[in-house]
Structure 1
Amino acid sequence: MEIDNQTVNIGPTLSFGPEDLKGVANNHNDALVIRVMVANYDVARIFVDSGSSVNVLFQEAINQMDLGQYRIEPVVTSLFGFTGHAIRPMGLVHLPLTLGKGNGRKTRIVSFIIVDAPSAYNVILGRPAMTTFMAVASALHQKIKFPVGDQVGEVQGDQVIARKCYVEEFRIEQKVARTDNVDRPGFAGMEKFNLIEDTSVTAEEEIEEIMISPPSGMVKIARTLEAELKQLLLECLQKNKDVFAWSVSDLVGVHREIAEHKLNVIKGCRPIIQKKRHFGPEKYAVIKEQVDELLRAGHIEEIHFPTWLSNIVLVPKSTRK
């Protein structure tokens, strides 16, 4: 991707090459999410969307910023996404936006449409902001480049945050769809996460499991770690694997002064004893296995005629176990 300054006369040539892929995960499809200064606030979770015809600032982000010195102007028109739905903006505000650092730093006044809607992002930077900075974005290279005099300024994307936003945005979409029985209005050019074939998206896509202490010593680490850092981390975990408790039985000998649960109840109140609940054979087998393991480890002990009594509650894990 290259823009020639002789063609549009905006300064130095803005180009992306193999060197810009250093530190970027291979074969990714991540959105470009950056962290920059907005009105002298360090704002994370900024989604760069070259398909959006407006810059969006979400109300939840504004609530964490003191923008008293900036006038919020009324907006009459509505925003329309590619789904055809409309959303009424809360207003329009002009704020200083700073991209880059040091000699590659550039500040411009950018107009933001204020939207009160749930989102994983704080800001959406659309075409107006990119044009104002004469910037070029590359999701592949996870980077924005823009001219600063005769130099080139850069802003690096954060793939870890991008993937967290992806998962969070998908969950928001699902929650709103369940509540309203309709899709949330999409912003101009903003990708719709419910187009994913596998709707059971979880944060597990950000991690990978590594065995460091067979048979049960599994650890989870980020997939986006650089090869050298990943190797150092695994060596450290392997060297110190004895400090981990891989099962309940590994915690034998923990004194009650270190960990002990108590019921904080009002003195003199009537004890609650639940009626015994019946479980199926499969659930009884799971309960027995867990109770026996805790008994062997000495974490619990059998008592007769309890003052308080509640039934066991089985909670399924994400692994469906």
Structure 2
Amino acid sequence: MGKTEASDPPRKGVIRMIAGGPTGGDSQRARKAQVREAYGTTVKEIMDVEPTNDAPLIQFDQEEHRGPRIPGNDALVITALLANYEIERVFIDSGSLADILFGEAYDQMQLGDIPLETVEASLYGFSGEVVYPRGMISLPLTLGTFPLRKTYLLRFLVVDIPSAYNVILGRPRLNAFRAIISTYHMKIKFPMVGGVGEAQANVLQARRCYIEAIKR
């Protein structure tokens, strides 16, 4: 369960795309078991879905559109709190099954007191190369702005490859937040007790990341 917070905690600092990963388990056997479980519980999941009668209505108004002065089809890049660090350049990738914390950002966060878990799963980049993670770490991720924000403890793969981003947030964790994404409005919204939380994308960050990515 995600949690809401009674106060805005102090920041520890500011830390200025992909398939694979252990979402289905960290072994071939575990991934096959997940497929069997999906077939066996589909009906039950539909029947036991969380009631939404009390959930706030999530909608995007035309007034929220970024406007004609900032045209384009930019990636959704936000700033989020990760282990109380303000992390810029968080790429929202609904096509990814893995949550990635890139090695350079991980090193800047100085999380040596939290041991990395060994992981056998590999990742496959857009060009088909195989990437083996340094390890996995569980960290609290917070989306939204106080007081309408939500925190979940997520498991990130720490990956040592060059990237214009610090973090990639994939589809399973977006679903955990019950997040609704609008690339037209450049915004994420998610239901909360007492309202709707949201995270606004940073268009300038997105364009800087794009320029850096094509230079690599």
TM > 0.5: yes
Aligned-partner Cα distance in 2 for 1:10–1:85: 46
Spell out the pairing of 1:132-143 with structure 2 (5 A cutoff).
132-143=176-187
1:63 alignment partner, SS class = helix
- Tell me which residue corresponds to 2:136: 92
1:129 equivalent to 2:173? Answer yes
Pair 124,36 (structure 1): closer, same or farther in 2 beyond 3 Å: same
Between structures 1 and 2, the one with greater helix share: 1
**Counterpart position of 1:153:** 197
Match in the other structure for 1:42: 86
Give the distance between the partners of 2:154 and 2:177, measured in 1 at CA. Answer: 9
Partners of 1:78 and 1:154 lie apart in 2 by 32
SS of match in other structure, 2:98: coil
* Structure 2, unpaired ranges of 5+: 1-48
Q: Is the 8 A contact 1:33 1:161 kept in 2?
A: yes
| Larger relative contact order (CA 8 Å, sep ≥ 6) | 2
In structure 2, do the counterparts of structure 1 residues 128 and 19 end up closer, same or farther at CA, with 3 Å as the change threshold?
same
Q: Which runs of 5+ in 1 are unaligned?
A: 173-321
Mapped partners of 1:63, 1:24: distance in 2: 39
- CA deviations 1:133-170 (Å, max 9, x no partner) are 11112222111101121410011111011101000011
AA of the residue aligned to 2:210:
Y
Asked if the contact 2:56–2:191 (Cα under 8 Å) also holds between the matched residues in 1, the reply is: yes
Q: Residues 88 and 103 (structure 1 numbering): CA distance in 2 closer, same or farther, change over 3 Å? A: same
In the TM superposition, what is the alpha-carbon distance from 1:25 to its structure 2 partner? Answer: 4.5
Q: Structure 1 length as normaliser, TM-score?
A: 0.49
1:62 to 77, 100, 106: 106
For 2:149 and 2:65, how far apart are their aligned partners in 1? 22
> Which letter maps to 1:162?
A
The secondary structure found in structure 1 opposite 2:97 is: coil
After TM superposition, the structure 1 = structure 2 runs for residues 229-308 of structure 1, keeping only pairs within 5 Å, are none
Percentage of identical aligned residues: 46
* 1:15 Cα deviation from its structure 2 partner: 2.0
C-alpha distance in structure 2 between counterparts of 1:34 and 1:158, whole Å:
6
**CA offset digits 1:241-274 (Å, max 9, x no partner):** xxxxxxxxxxxxxxxxxxxxxxxxxxxxxxxxxx
Match of 2:153 among 105, 109, 115: 109
Q: Which amino acid aligns with 2:106?
A: I
Given that residues 74 and 203 in structure 2 are in contact (C-alpha distance below 8 angstroms), is that contact kept between their aligned partners in structure 1?
yes
Higher strand share: 2
Q: Distance in 1 between matches of 2:130 and 2:53?
A: 38
Distance in 1 (CA, whole Å) between partners of 2:50 and 2:100 is: 32
Query: How many angstroms does 1:84 deviate by?
Result: 3.3
Q: 1:41 to 1:143 in 2, by over 3 A?
A: same
What does 1:216-231 align with in structure 2 at a 5 Å threshold?
A: none
Classify 1:121/1:69 alpha carbon distance in 2 versus 1 (closer, same or farther; 3 Å). same
Q: What CA distance in whole angstroms lies between the structure 1 residues aligned with 2:112 and 2:53?
A: 38
Number of aligned positions between the proteins: 168
**Alignment check: 8 A CA contact 2:64 2:185 kept:** yes
CA contact (8 A) 2:66 2:186 kept: no
Residue 101 of structure 1, CA deviation:
1.4
- Give the 3 Å change call, closer, same or farther, for CA 72–103 of structure 1 in structure 2: same
Tell me if the contact between 1:58 and 1:115 (Cα under 8 Å) persists in the aligned partners: yes
After superposition, the C-alpha distances for 1:9-29 in whole angstroms (9 at most, x for unaligned) are 682222222022145745411
